[in-house]
Amino acid sequence: MIDIKDLRENPDRYRQAAEHKRITVDIDTLLDLDTRHRELLTTQQELTAKKNQIGKQIGDLAGQLRNATPDRKAELEKQMHQLQQRPAELKRQEQNIQERINQLHPQLEEALLLIPQPADDEAPVGTDDTQNTELRRWGTVREFDFEPKDHIALGRDLGIIDIERGVKLAGTRSYVLTGAGCTLHQAVLRLAMDMMIERGFTPMTVPMIVREPAMQGTGYFPAGREQTYAMPDEDPALFLVGTSEVPLTAYHMGEVLDGDTLPRRYAAMSACFRREAGTYGKDTAGLYRIHQFEKVEQVIIAANDTEQSKAYHHEILENSEAVLQALNIPYRVVAVCTGDLGQGQAAKYDIEAWMPSRDAWGETHSASRFYEFQARRLNLRYRDAGGKVRFCHTLNNTVIASPRILIPLLELNQNSDGSVAIPEILRPYMGGCESLASV
């Protein structure tokens, strides 16, 4: 959620943010709601002040009555009777004002939840991912001296990926990892988690089913509701998360943290669930775009400092790059343009690994910084050294997501005989296995 005070002072900044992010919002309607809401609150405060003033006057008259002469007493009683009629009238006015506030407040809150955070100046202006800006590359794209297989054929021939039975069990965008496919998948995840622990992140096991405040607080609701699997029959309704970013970031919602304990660095390995609504016919084959996967996610909850947030953003990006480098997977880093940014993201870097079967770079990681956006929605705050309570800054990035990462891992390490070499760093997680051979 954005700062309503900043919106009042800089409405054009948010109009431009919405235009650059291709998000349709009505800033003028929101400002009108805000003005009416504030006017009602002011009137409510004035009525309360009047009631307090009348109460004080009645008290003064009561004190005078005790020592008043008979003639004076009659006059004071008349004044008191007149004053005693006023609170009932003011109460009726108060009730009317409160009813109007109760009608306006949800509309204002709903409108505020849709306003995008302006992108940082460093984010390139563009309409979609084709206008993301490449920053750097690492590794060498392999050139094959034989006809390489894609990961679907490799998985079938090696007996490690069963898409046909996965679809039979759960419908499209489903799969089964069997035997060494399962252990390779787990090995990648365990490597990523171990590397994050070595880098000072606290490992967490968090719920994959959360309540609406966690989804709304992290910015996945209301705009991304159609991507989420819901359990509406539960009371309150529950939702399967698409990333452990949600419970990790919402872990301290409603709390005031000790500033001396920041930054908090958390990492979680979890299952993730996404409906992939709106992607009909897109990437339906293989493991690229699926409904269920596993991921190691990293989250930093930090102090309210823009330059520090930028430094942490590079830190979490470097963490993910280190995992890909350990696996010897060539990749590139891109700065995401405004049209490809989410509602709450001030800036984002994507990492794209080379995938031979796509003959292209494929997104494997997204590193985002949000400044106060998520913290305001979560009421996530800290007390600084001067005792002032401030909203935290939040950041997150994928460490590794599997089985998507198995696409380049299998395709880049295949041999002409159909076998696949296991990267050396993964072998201890697979009982020393050096390669997978066709069955």
156-192 pLDDT, tens per residue?
Answer: 999 999 999 999 999 999 999 999 999 999 999 999 9
The yes-or-no answer on residue 142 being catalytic is: no
Q: What is the pLDDT of residues 222-269, one digit of tens each?
A: 989 999 999 999 999 999 999 999 999 999 999 999 999 999 999 999
Q: Which residues contact 268 (CB under 8 A, 6 or more apart)?
A: 203, 204, 205, 206, 244, 247, 248, 296, 297
DSSP state string for 47-99: HHHHHHHHHHHHHHHHHHHTT--HHHHHHHHHHHHHHHHHHHHHHHHHHHHHH
The yes-or-no answer on residue 404 being catalytic is: yes
The yes-or-no answer on residue 66 being catalytic is: no
| Torsion angle (degrees, nearest 10) of CA 214, 220, 225, 231 | -30
Amino acid at 248: L
The two three-digit tokens of residue 152, written as one number: 């679907």
Would you say 423 and 413 are in contact if contact means Cβ atoms under 8 Å apart? yes
Give dist(CA 262, CA 384) in Å, integer.
10
Catalytic-role residue among 363, 372, 377, 411: 363
Tell me the pLDDT of the chain averaged across its residues.
Answer: 93
The yes-or-no answer on residue 109 being catalytic is: no
Catalytic-role residue among 244, 309, 320, 366: 366
Catalytic-role residue among 245, 270, 404, 411: 404
Measured CA to CA in angstroms, residue 59 lies from 50, 52, 62, 64, 79 at distances of 14, 11, 5, 9, 12
Give the helix/strand (H/E) hosting 413: none
Looking at the chain, the domain(s) classified CATH 1.10.287 span 4-112
User: Could you give the angle at which helices 151-158 and 163-170 cross, rounded to 10 degrees?
Assistant: 100
Looking at the chain, the domain(s) classified CATH 3.30.930.10 span 129-436
The verdict on pTM exceeding 0.85 is yes
The two three-digit tokens of residue 361, written as one number: 């770079």
Catalytic-role residue among 100, 190, 289, 427: 289
Residue segments in the chain with a per-residue pLDDT below the cut of 70: 54-55, 58-71, 73-87, 278, 280, 439
Give the CATH H-level superfamily of domain 129-436: Bira Bifunctional Protein; Domain 2 (3.30.930.10)
Residue (of 319, 393, 305, 310) closest to 351 by Cα position? 319
Q: What is the pLDDT of residue 56?
A: 72
Q: What is the pLDDT of residue 280?
A: 67
Give dist(CA 185, CA 296) in Å, integer.
12
How is domain 4-112 classified at the CATH fold level?
A: Helix Hairpins (1.10.287)
Catalytic-role residue among 264, 274, 377, 381: 274
The yes-or-no answer on residue 289 being catalytic is: yes
Give dist(CA 21, CA 115) in Å, integer.
11
Q: Which residues contact 411 (CB under 8 A, 6 or more apart)?
A: 148, 149, 150, 151, 154, 355, 356, 357
Give me the helices (H) in 199-267, please.
212-217, 245-250
Would you say 435 and 420 are in contact if contact means Cβ atoms under 8 Å apart? yes
Give dist(CA 316, CA 310) in Å, integer.
10
Give dist(CA 369, CA 357) in Å, integer.
32
